[in-house]
Amino acid sequence: MHDCIFCKIIKNEIQSNIIYNGKLSIAFEDINPQAPHHIVIIPKRHMVAISEADKNELEEIFSAVDIIAKQLNINDSGFRLVVNQGKDAGQFVPHLHFHLLGGRKLNWPPG
Ligand code: 5GP
Ligand code: ZN
């Protein structure tokens, strides 16, 4: 999509530290990390909400989460996977994304 930051990251028009590049999804380091490890995983196809993702995209994204968590050594210590969808959740970038956070104790409940 034309003006979407994350679509620009996919097309390499905006620099990012990409740590996973699959057929249907990519993952990169968040520019403003909220934990020692803060990775954003997104479908390559532009979409705003979970309801628009298909089964293959979701399958690849969840498999990417597993691969990345093991790569970062946070699979055993634990991590959190977050989707902010819509205005109540404070979704800032309107391209579906999964935040993978780890490397510190994470408080609950979130704000
Ligand atoms: P949201 O609030 O929409 O769930 O999260 C958007 C996330 O994208 C934020 O954590 C923000 O730091 C991250 N972000 C926004 N713009 C960029 C960018 O240009 N590069 C990277 N790597 N992350 C970004
Ligand atoms: Zn997009």
Q: Does the CB atom of residue 41 touch ligand 1 within 6 A?
A: no
The CATH superfamily of 5-102 is: HIT-like (3.30.428.10)
Rounded distance from Cα 24 to ligand 2 centre (Å): 13
pLDDT class for 43, splitting at 50, 70, 90?
A: very high
78 Rama sector, left if φ>0, alpha if ψ -120 to 50, beta otherwise? left
**Local structure of 67: helix, strand or coil:** helix
pLDDT class for 2, splitting at 50, 70, 90?
A: confident
Q: Report pTM.
A: 0.97
Contact 56, 43 (CB under 8 A): no
Q: Does the CB atom of residue 85 touch ligand 1 within 6 A?
A: no
Residue 2 catalytic? Answer: no
> What residue segments make up the domains of the chain, in order of their start?
5-102
